[in-house]
Amino acid sequence: MTDNALRELYQEVILDHSRHPRHYGALEQASHKAEGYNPLCGDRVTVYLKLGEDGRVADIKFQGKGCAISQASASMMTDLLKGRTRAEAEKLMEGFLHLVKGEAAPGLSDDDRETLDVMSGISQFPMRVKCATLAWHTYRNAVEEGAT
C-alpha cells in the first residue's frame, strides 16, 4: 500500500470515529468522572468510568464537542480501554502519547499499535497533539481524582 493510500485510509478511520463515535453519552452510575478542556481550540470532553472491583474498566463513555481528531481519539480510546485493568490502560496511554508525538512506543502490543497507528500522523502537526491527547488525559484525571 502506498503512503498516500495508507494516509487516506487513516483519515477515513478518523472521520468514521468522529462521525459515529463509539461509547458516546453519559454513563449512569459512573464511579469516576472528569472534564477536560483545550483552551487553544475549544475542544471539550467529559469521560465517565465505571471501575470494577477487580480494577478493570467495566464501562467507559464520553461526551464532548470538538474537532474530528479529538472526537475520534476519544472514541478510539473508549474502544481500547473497556475491559482493561488500570495498569494496562496506563501502559496503553503512555504508548499512545509517545506515538502521537512521533516518538518510539515500545510498550504497545502489535494489535494496539495497529489500531492506534491511524493517529501517528498527528505528530506532523504539533498543535493537534493536544486535540488527540485531551480525552486520554481526561481519562487519567477521572481515574486519579474523579471518584463520584
Query: Could you give all domains of the chain from N- to C-terminal order, each with its CATH number?
Result: 3-145 (3.90.1010.10)
pLDDT of res. 29: 92
Q: pTM for this one? A: 0.91
| Model confidence at 6: pLDDT above 70 | no
Residue 90 has φ and ψ, to the nearest 5°, of -65, -40
| Model confidence at 2: pLDDT above 80 | no
Which three cell numbers mark 18? Answer: 468522529
Q: What is the mean pLDDT of the chain?
A: 91
Residues 6 or more apart whose Cβ sits within 8 Å of residue 93: 136, 139, 140
